[in-house]
Every structure is written in structure tokens, then in C-alpha cells.
Amino acid sequence: MLRKYRLVLILKSDLKKEAKEKLVANVKSWSGKIANEKLTELGEKKFAYAIKGAQKGDYVLFEFESDSVSRELEDKVRIHDDVLRHLIVRD
């Protein structure tokens, strides 16, 4: 049974477009078998407080369907230097 998931990533704002596209491709590969993927760039927003020394970040919303979210995805997103914050929510 496929479940719907939403992954919100806050990326460093100084990240180049190529690096951002590569990171998103990596996240898709870490997700395992997914269906009905949809990527939405929400743009750059200023933070209320500094996160890892950054004052602003690029928000990316990745919606997909999968049987489950692997622990590998959570771990790799958490330790990636270009990801300031992330949140995975099951709908």
C-alpha cells in the first residue's frame, strides 16, 4: 500500500542551481521506490533566527508516494552539509 509523504528541505541560500538539482536527485535516489513525485520550490525566505549561521534559506517541498520511508533517507538528509533543516510528514 502506497502512502503519501511530504519532505520539506531548507537548503543553504548560497547553493548554486546545479548543486541544488544534484541534491534533489540524491534525495530521490535515497527515497527508494517512489511514485507520483512532485517537486515544488517555495523560494528563499528569511529566518526569524540564525540556523547553522545562516540568516536565510531556500525551501523545497518534495511530495511522493511510497510504501515506507527508509531510515537511510532520514540519516543522509540529516548529515548533509547543504541541508539546514528537514521535515518528513506522512499524510
* Span 28-85, pLDDT tens digits: 888 888 889 999 999 999 999 999 999 999 999 999 998 888 888 899 999 999 999 9
Supply the pLDDT for residue 9. Answer: 94
Q: What is the pTM of this model?
A: 0.88
Instruction: Compute the mean pLDDT over every residue in the chain, rounded to the nearest whole number.
Output: 91
**In 10 A of CB 24, how many CB atoms?**
16
